[in-house]
Each structure stands twice: as C-alpha cells, then as structure tokens.
Amino acid sequence: MPTKVKNIVSVCIMAVLLFGLSFYCWAKPADEFSDSERRKLDQFPELTWDSILSGDFMKDFEDYTLDQFPMRDDFRTLKAFSRFYLFWQKDNNDIYIEDGYASKIEYPMSESSMNHAAERFQYLYDKYMADKACNVYFSIVPDKSYFLAEQNGYLSMDYDKFFELMQEKTDFMEYIDITGLLDITDYYKTDTHWRQEKIMDVAQKLAESMGVTLSGNYTQQTLDNPFYGVYYGQSALPLSPETIYYMTSDILEDCKVYNYETGSPVEMSIYDMEKAYGKDPYEMFLSGSLPLITIENPNATTDKELVIFRDSFGSSITPLLVEGYAKITLVDIRYITSDLVGMFVDFEDQDVLFLYSTLVLNSSTTLR
C-alpha cells in the first residue's frame, strides 16, 4: 500500500472509530446499574453555575462518561486481558486468577484493623456477656488467598500470625480452628464466599465445639440461575458462571425466621428465592446483609440458643447449625451498632459465636 493511500486509510479508519464512538457516547441512553460491577452508575451531573465554577461539574461529568461509556464491560475485559496476557501483570484491580479461582490480594496484614475488631468484640463481651452464664466462642473463616496466594507467588499476609494474634487479642473467647476442614474447592470460583454444600463438616465442628451434635441430614437443591460472583465483575474476565446449591430439610422448612431491620419482627424465609434471582444470588442465604435475624426452630434436638456475631459467611453456614438449636440470633454489627444489640438479645444462657472472615477482620472499620 503506497504511503499516500495509507495516510488516507489511516485518517478514515481513525475518523470512523473516533467519531463513531463519540456519537455512540452522545446517543447512548444512560444505564442505571452495572450488573457485573454490582453498583449504581453515575448519571449526567447537575449543570449549575456553582458546579461549573467549583469544578464539580467537570469532575462528575468525567465520572459519568467513564460509567456510561458504550460497551463498558467489553472494554473492561479488554483491559483485563491486556494486563494479564500482554503485560503479564499478576493481578488486575488486585484480583488474580489461579487454578480457575478468582481471588483478591489480601495484603498487608492490618494490625490496627485487627485491634479494632478485637476491641469491638471485647466491648460486646464486657457489655453483654461477662456477667452472664454464656459460653463465648470465636472462629475465623480464611479467605481464598489463604489457600492460593503464597504457594502461587502472590502477595500474602502471614495467616498463621494473623490467627495467632487474633486469638491473643480475644483470649476471653474459646477459639475454634476450622482451617483444617477447608480447602479452595469449598469456595466459589468467582466469589469471596464458601459453598454451603461443602461446609457441613465445618458446621459440625463448630457445633461439636459448642457441645451440640448435628446429624447433617439435608437434601441438596440446585438453583437454576447462573451465579456470577463478585470477583466476576471485578476481574472483568469472561469467567464461567457457577451453580449455587443449597441445603434443605424438614427442620428448616418448619423454622420461623424474623428480620428485625425495622425494629419490629418481619417474617422471612431461610432461603430468599427472590434474591436468588436478583443481582447477587448469594444473598438468597438469609436475605444477605441484615443487621439482626432470629431463627426459631420448633423441632430442635436441644433447647439451647445461639447468638452468632457474623459477616456474610455466616449467612450460608447458619442454616446448617439450626438443627441443634431452639433459637439462633444472627447479629451483624456492620449494620447495627453494638450498643443497640442489647435491645434484642439478652444473652442469658445462650452460647455466643463470633464468626468472622479474615476479609472483615483485616478491614474492620465497618464494625460498629
């Protein structure tokens, strides 16, 4: 191709691309929500003299153009591919893929965050449990990097030290080690969480440590909705969807579940099938992020009651613990302040389990 023709071709192609995408930017209606990133997208900013003079309009407009760019997900995928396979970078937005599992770099270990979490737990213990006849337990759920990071050359915090320090800082509780029962296959490939159908042994270990025996008789159900976990969107790679399995039993069927989000109890179900088909199907387990839930089990093998202070990992394991307790109260102090917990829980003759993932403990500013 002669240089003159090349110049014409170059200008034409670039003009089509530049003006084509430009026209698409102007013409494309704004999307409200990104399913892959699970967040609301910025809308066209308000145009006022004040917003122009302060520069807010320009900044917000730039955010808007990024969020609303045509084929945004495809471009994000192109960027992820470029980082991983062209520049051979180890991670994209701190997400890495190893053995088909997407995981986020959990590094470095934040001792100040661990201190904050331990201080919150101590506060709860001193305020509600110290002078009550209740047994208090603590267990830590390792995140996926516990199994993947160090052996595959990714930045990894010293998990042994992490567990050891957390135990030292919470020596008023009895620690239950569940790490030996878990491996990477117990987690979703595209999500942070563990798979309910794989953690019966963990539930049994926790219950056994608290003096309760679980039979573990459940029927495995399959959710007919493809599950794209939170790392699917963050990695921006075309990862395959997964299947959510959930465990049912007659005991669970008969349970009464109440949500206290509004202050007064509202009945709900163990598995929220509306959320199972929503933006984050993992929220089907006890309806996702809720500050306080009670599960009453009329067919319990004991009259024991359990209070679980938990994060989202607790949502999927709690149904497996229900069998052994007449009542389980789930408290998420990311959504309810510790001072208010006493309005709903008396802690008399109740076992208490603090069940938290390394992800929350290492970034605990949300614990209130």
Partner 1 sequence: MLFSSIPFLYYFLPCVLILYFIAPRCLKNSVLLLASLFFYAWGEPKYVVLMAISIVLGYVFGLLIEAWRGTKLSKFFLILSLVTSLGMLGYFKYADFFISNFNAVTGLSVPLLKIALPIGISFYTFQILSYTVDVYRGEVKAQRNFISLATYVALFPQLIAGPIVRYSDVAVQLESRTHSISNLALGMRRFIFGLGKKILIANALGELCDIFKESGDKSVLFFWLYAIAFTLHIYFDFSGYSDMAIGLGKMFGFDFLENFDYPYISGSITEFWRRWHMSLGSWFRDYVYIPLGGNRVSKARWFLNIFIVWLLTGFWHGSAWNFIVWGLFFAVLLVIEKLWLLKLLKKSKVWSHIYVLFFVVISFVIFNAADMKEAFQYIGGMFGAGGIPFISDEWSYYLRSYAVVLIVAIIGATPLLKKLVLSIKKKPAGEKVMNVLEPVVMVVLLLMMTAFLVDGSFNPFLYFRF
Only one of the segments 71-79, 119-127, 220-228, 291-299 lies at the binding site for partner 1 (rule: CB under 8 A); that segment is: 71-79
DSSP label of 191: S
- Number of Cβ within a 10 Å radius of residue 191: 22
- Binding residue (CB under 8 A) for partner 1 from 36, 69, 165, 340: 69
Kindly state whether residue 76 participates in binding partner 1, applying the rule CB under 8 A: yes
Q: What is the rounded CA–CA span in Å between residue 76 and residue 283?
A: 25
Amino acid at position 216, single letter: G
Residue from 33, 35, 48, 65 in contact with partner 1 (CB under 8 A)? 65
| 14 in contact with partner 1 (CB under 8 A) | yes
56-64, 123-131, 247-255, 285-293 -> range binding partner 1 (CB under 8 A)? 56-64
* Spatial separation of the C-alpha atoms in residues 315 and 332, rounded to whole Å: 10
Query: How far apart are CB 340 and partner 1 at their closest, in Å?
Result: 36
Q: Interaction with partner 1 in 224-243: which residues (CB under 8 A)?
A: 236
Using the rule CB under 8 A, which residue among 39, 44, 89, 337 binds partner 1? 89
The answer to whether 359 and 109 are in contact (CB under 8 A) is no
Question: Computed from CA positions of residues 154, 160, 166, 169, in that sequence, does the dihedral angle turn out positive or negative?
Answer: negative
In angstroms, what is the minimal distance from the CB of 92 to partner 1? 8
Choice between 154 and 313, CB closer to partner 1: 154
- Integer Cα distance of 187 and 199 in angstroms: 9
State which of residues 31, 35, 47, 82 lies at the interface with partner 1 (CB under 8 A).
82
Q: Scanning residues 305 to 364, which ones bind partner 1 (CB under 8 A)? A: none
Residues in the chain: 368
**Count of residues in contact with partner 1, rule CB under 8 A:** 49
Among 38, 41, 90, 242, binds partner 1 (CB under 8 A): 90
CB-based contacts of 150-157 (< 8 A; 24+ apart in sequence) = 152/98, 153/90, 154/90, 154/91, 154/96, 154/98, 154/105, 155/105, 155/107, 155/108, 156/106, 156/107, 157/106, 157/107, 157/108, 157/109, 157/362
Q: Is 153 in the site for partner 1 (CB under 8 A)?
A: yes
Q: Using CB atoms within 10 A of its CB, is residue 41 exposed (0-12), middle (13-18) or buried (19+)?
A: middle
Q: Does 30 sit near partner 1 (CB under 8 A)?
A: no
Is 95 a binder of partner 1 (CB under 8 A)?
A: no
Q: Report the interface residues with partner 1, using CB under 8 A.
A: 1-11, 13-14, 17-19, 21-22, 25-26, 52-53, 55, 58, 61-62, 65-66, 69, 72, 75-80, 82, 86-91, 93, 108, 153-155, 236
